[in-house]
Amino acid sequence: MRVLGVDPGLTRCGLGVVDSLPGRRAALVAVGVARSSTEDDIDRRLLAIAEQIDEWIDLQAPDVVAVERVFAQHNVSTVMGTAQVAGIAMLAAARRRIPVALHTPSEVKAAVTGSGRAEKAQVQTMVAKILGLAEVPRPADAADALALAICHLWRPAGALAAPQRSLQAMTSAQRTWAAAEHAARRPTRG
């Protein structure tokens, strides 16, 4: 399976492609960022990101697109741009009939490190280790996109479809994953 991970952002949108290998391993295919200029109007910025995502999808031919689920932040303008770019990525995949999966930051951290509360640097270090890279991909958005792709590859079978699955039958990382997914589905009060 080939997964394109998308870490949405208006200035830098992380893009990372990984292939699954036997034995719960992953191989780096491509990594980079789609960029837009802060000097452009929002419509031009979104178009620039959309065109780059389209190019990545057409070139890399992923089986699925994994996008970071946008969560509420204090800075409304930041979360709006992030949500708009996430929508662009989902639309680009849908136009090509490629399935889309959304993963929260906690789910990604749990899948890659075993802890849903891992620090960003720990996630990036694990991404490099998992993919056998000599150094952490830069910028951070690129490493985050790879983490999303790995997260999707490694998600526990039936994690979303079978919430009644016995906790005793899960590994520690799978229990952490399930807890992160459960927390993500709880309604927020605000």
Number of domains observed in the structure of the chain: 1
The answer to the question of residue 146 being in a domain is: yes
Ligand-binding annotation for 144, yes or no, is no
Ligand-binding annotation for 41, yes or no, is no
Supply the range of the domain harboring residue 179: 2-185
Inform me whether the pLDDT recorded for 184 exceeds 90. Answer: no
User: What count of Cα atoms within 13 Å lies in the side-chain half-sphere of residue 186?
Assistant: 9
SS3 76: helix
Q: What is the CATH number of the domain that holds 98?
A: 3.30.420.10
Query: 82 or 178: whose pLDDT is higher?
Result: 82
pLDDT in tens, 24-76: 899 999 999 999 999 999 999 999 999 999 999 999 999 999 999 987 666 77
* Burial call 140-172: b when 16+ CB within 10 Å, e when fewer: bbbbbbbbbbbbbbbbbeebeeeeeeeeeeeee
Ligand-binding annotation for 119, yes or no, is no
Mean pLDDT of the chain: 87
The answer to the question of residue 190 being in a domain is: no
Instruction: Say what the pTM is.
Output: 0.81
- Reading the block at residue 51, the tokens are 């065109």
Residues classed as catalytic: 7, 68, 141
The answer to the question of residue 150 being in a domain is: yes
SS3 136: coil
pLDDT in tens, 92-128: 999 999 999 999 999 999 999 998 899 999 999 999 9
